C-alpha cells in the first residue's frame, strides 16, 4: 500500500510538473520580449519545474538501486530509453526546419522563433554535443542519461555529503562559466538528482505539517521572486550573481518540496485522477509537445489571429498536453516499433510502472 501511495504521489507531482513545462513553453520569445510580466512568470516556473523531474528521478533511482546489479544492462537500458528518442526527435526537428524554411510563410514564423536551417555536418555536431541544438527542449533526456551514467558508475560517491557540496558549487559556477554543450545543463541537473538520493537514502519522504508547509511555501515564493526579479531587470555581476544562484537553488529545492506536498494533499482526491494520468504520460508529453506543436501553434496564432496572448497560451497549453497524450495512448504505445523509436521502449511488452524518468 505504501509503495502504491508513493507511486501515486510521484504521478501527481509529475502531472503538475508537465503542465508547468508545457505552459512555460507557451511563453515564447515574442511574448517574453514584449512583456516583463510574462518573462517573470516564465523564469519563475523555470526555476523549479525541471529540477523537480531530476529530483523525482533521483528518488526513484535510489529506491531501485539495490536491483541494479548489472550496471552494463542498466546503462544499455537507459541508452535505449533516453537516447533513441533523443536521436529520433533531433533528426525530425532538423529535417522539419530544413523543409519548412522553403515555405515563405512558415520560414517567417520559424525565424521569429529563433530557428534556422543548418548544414547536415553542423546538425550532426549539434546533435552529438547539444551545442546550439535546434530542438531546445531535448537537453533533458540527454542530460538525464549522463546523470544516470555517473550515478550508476559511482553510486556511493554521487550521494555523499562532500559531493552534494561540490555539485552546489558547480551549479553556482554557472553564474560565471558557460560550459560546452550538454555539460552546461548537466552541471546544474546533477545537484537535484543527487540531493534526492542523499535525502531519501535512509528515510522515506515525510509529510510536512501545515505550519511547515506554509513556511516552505513562503520561502519558495520569496526566493523565487528575488531571483526572477533580477533576471528580468538586470542580473548583477561579481559576488552578487553567485549569491543569486544560491538563492535560485533555494527556490528550486523549496519549489520541489511544495509540489511534492501538494501531491500528497491531492492523492486521495478525485480531482487528482487527471494529474495521475498526465504523470504516467509525462515523458511522452514532454518529448512530443515541443518545439513545434506548442511553439508552432503559438507562432501561428500570434501571426495570423488577433487572439490575446493569454488566450493563445491557454489554447497552446491544451494542445500541448492533450494531443501528445492522445497520440501516445491510442497510437504510439500500441505500435511496438513506433513506441521504441519515439519512447525508447515497447510499451506493449512492459508492465513496469517506472523507468526513473
pLDDT in tens, the chain (357 residues): 445 555 889 999 999 999 999 999 999 999 999 999 999 999 999 999 999 999 999 999 999 999 999 999 999 999 999 999 999 999 999 998 888 888 877 777 777 667 788 899 999 999 999 999 988 899 999 999 999 999 999 999 999 999 999 999 999 999 999 999 999 999 999 999 999 999 987 666 678 899 999 999 999 999 999 999 999 999 999 999 999 999 999 999 999 999 999 999 998 888 799 999 999 999 999 999 988 899 889 988 998 999 999 999 999 999 999 999 999 999 999 999 999 999 999 887 765 555 566
CA Rg, the chain, in Å?
Answer: 20
My answer on whether omega of the bond before 72 falls inside 30° of 0, hence cis, is no
Return the HEC string of 57-95.
HHHHHHHHHHHCCCHHHHHHHHHHHHHHHHHHHHHHHHH
Backbone angles phi, psi at 229, to 5 degrees: -60, -50
The pLDDT score that the predictor gives to residue 1 is: 43
Cα separation, 283 vs 357, whole angstroms: 7
Per-residue model confidence (pLDDT) at position 3: 55
pLDDT for the residue 118: 86
Q: CA–CA distance from 332 to each of 56, 253, 290 (Å)? A: 25, 34, 17
- 332's grid cell: 504510439
Which residues, in sequence order, are CB contacts of 175 under 8 Å at separation 6+? 241, 242, 244, 245
How far is the C-alpha of 49 from the C-alpha of 255, rounded, in Å?
8
Q: Which of 86, 191, 190 is nearest to 129 (CA)?
A: 86
Model pLDDT, residue 346: 87
Contact (CB, 8 A) for 223 and 258: no
Q: Grid coordinates standing for 335? A: 505500435
154 DSSP 8-state letter: S
Q: How far is CA 112 from CA 129, 152, 249, in A?
A: 25, 41, 32
Provide the pLDDT for residue 342.
96
Contact 147, 195 (CB under 8 A): no
Domain segments of the chain as ranges: 2-343
Strands of the chain (E only): list them: none
Calpha distance 48→57 (Å, rounded): 14
The distance from CA 4 to its chain's CA centroid, rounded to whole angstroms, is 24
pLDDT at residue number 337: 95
Q: Residue 36's pLDDT is what?
A: 97
Amino acid at each position: 500500500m505504501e509503495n502504491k501511495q508513493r507511486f501515486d504521489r510521484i504521478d501527481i507531482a509529475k502531472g503538475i510538473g508537465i503542465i508547468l513545462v508545457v505552459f512555460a513553453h507557451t511563453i515564447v520569445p515574442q511574448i517574453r520580449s514584449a512583456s516583463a510580466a510574462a518573462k517573470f512568470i516564465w523564469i519563475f516556473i523555470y526555476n523549479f519545474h525541471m529540477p523537480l523531474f531530476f529530483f523525482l528521478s533521483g528518488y526513484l533511482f535510489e529506491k531501485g538501486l539495490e536491483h541494479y546489479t548489472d550496471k552494463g544492462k542498466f546503462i544499455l537500458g537507459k541508452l535505449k530509453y533516453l537516447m533513441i528518442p533523443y536521436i529520433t526527435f533531433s533528426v525530425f526537428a532538423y529535417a522539419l526546419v530544413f523543409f519548412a524554411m522553403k515555405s515563405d510563410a512558415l520560414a517567417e514564423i520559424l525565424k521569429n522563433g529563433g530557428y534556422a536551417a543548418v548544414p547536415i555536418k553542423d546538425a550532426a555536431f549539434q546533435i552529438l554535443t547539444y551545442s546550439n541544438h535546434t530542438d531546445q527542449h531535448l537537453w533533458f533526456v540527454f542530460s538525464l542519461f549522463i546523470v544516470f551514467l555517473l550515478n550508476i558508475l559511482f553510486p556511493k560517491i554521487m550521494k555523499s555529503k562532500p559531493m552534494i557540496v561540490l555539485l552546489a558549487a558547480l551549479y553556482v559556477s554557472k553564474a560565471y562559466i558557460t560550459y560546452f554543450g550538454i555539460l552546461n545543463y548537466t552541471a546544474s541537473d546533477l545537484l537535484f538528482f543527487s540531493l534526492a538520493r542523499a535525502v531519501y537514502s535512509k528515510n522515506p519522504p515525510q509529510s510536512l505539517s501545515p505550519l511547515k508547509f506554509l513556511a516552505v511555501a513562503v520561502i519558495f515564493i520569496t526566493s523565487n521572486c528575488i531571483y526572477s526579479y533580477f533576471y528580468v531587470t538586470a542580473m548583477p555581476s561579481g559576488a552578487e550573481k553567485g549569491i543569486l544562484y544560491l538563492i535560485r537553488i533555494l527556490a528550486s529545492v523549496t519549489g520541489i518540496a511544495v509540489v511534492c506536498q501538494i501531491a500528497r494533499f491531492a492523492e486521495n482526491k478525485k480531482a487528482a485522477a487527471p494529474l495521475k494520468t498526465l504523470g504516467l504520460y509525462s515523458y511522452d508529453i514532454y518529448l512530443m509537445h515541443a518545439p513545434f506543436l506548442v511553439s508552432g501553434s503559438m507562432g501561428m496564432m500570434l501571426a495570423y489571429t488577433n487572439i490575446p496572448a493569454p488566450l493563445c497560451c491557454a489554447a497552446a497549453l491544451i494542445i500541448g498536453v492533450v494531443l501528445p497524450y492522445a497520440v501516445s495512448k491510442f497510437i504510439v504505445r500500441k505500435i511496438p516499433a513506433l513506441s521504441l523509436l519515439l519512447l525508447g521502449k515497447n510499451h506493449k511488452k512492459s508492465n513496469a510502472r517506472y523507468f526513473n524518468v
